[in-house]
Chain A
Amino acid sequence: AQKVTQAQTEISVVEKEDVTLDCVYETRDTTYYLFWYKQPPSGELVFLIRRNSFDEQNEISGRYSWNFQKSTSSFNFTITASQVVDSAVYFCALSLSSGGSYIPTFGRGTSLIVHP
């Protein structure tokens, strides 16, 4: 069984603050993939990043960074110097490679509100 927990339901920050969105996952598989998606107020789901279980390198993309730690089964997402346009619901997801299905299991999402 696989599970993704996003304990933060809603986070409210003021523009330019740094914010970290937490994601904790559960799986017994050794090969798996982790993802983050963004859902802005317009409603579409936008893929942000993928990380496989054998690559614990952190990744930075502009103001976005991701910290993957297998020891704590976490894949956290940090936005540096947040902006109003970052306001969205963010989903963490996990998929397993077993059978080639790679079906994503999603967390419940964290709603980020960035105030001007």
Chain B
Amino acid sequence: DAGITQSPRHKVTETGTPVTLRCHQTENHRYMYWYRQDPGHGLRLIHYSYGVKDTDKGEVSDGYSVSRSKTEDFLLTLESATSSQTSVYFCAIRGLMNTEAFFGQGTRLTVV
């Protein structure tokens, strides 16, 4: 299994509060991705990173920011959580010589 850990695994937060999800990898892979999974929508890309401090927006980036200060960590921040951000969030990693991505266990976030 790919060495990828997401934390927390579950979180309930109130509308308007900031939330940070962490993705940690031990594979030293260059590429990291954040997706959200919602019923009827599959997985949609939020942000991705192609190196330390190199990030870019995905399809559904509004309301989210990311940071990657170390190769192993990719943080996803909801500056002010809204109910529409209730979802399951997946982090994925990909090595430079690979084409397939490997996923973490997911974080179930509920915004009430």
A residues lining the B interface (CB < 8 Å): 6, 33, 35, 37, 43-45, 47, 50, 52, 91, 95, 97, 100-109
Residues 88-112 of chain B, each 1 if its beta carbon lies under 8 Å from chain A, else 0 = 1010101000011111011000000
**CA A50 to CA B99, docked complex, whole Å:** 8
For the A-B complex, the count of residue pairs with Cβ-Cβ distances under 8 Å equals 54
Residues of B in contact, count (CB < 8 Å):
23
If the complex has contacts A44-B106, A101-B48, A103-B48, are A108 and B40 also in contact, measured as CB distance less than 8 A?
yes
Whether B99 lies near A108 (C-beta < 8 A) is: no
Whether B99 lies near A102 (C-beta < 8 A) is: yes
If the complex has contacts A102-B31, A102-B94, A103-B33, are A44 and B42 also in contact, measured as CB distance less than 8 A?
no
Select B100's contact among A6, A35, A97, beta carbons within 8 Å.
A35
**CA A100 to CA B92, docked complex, whole Å:** 16
Whether A43 lies near B103 (C-beta < 8 A) is: no
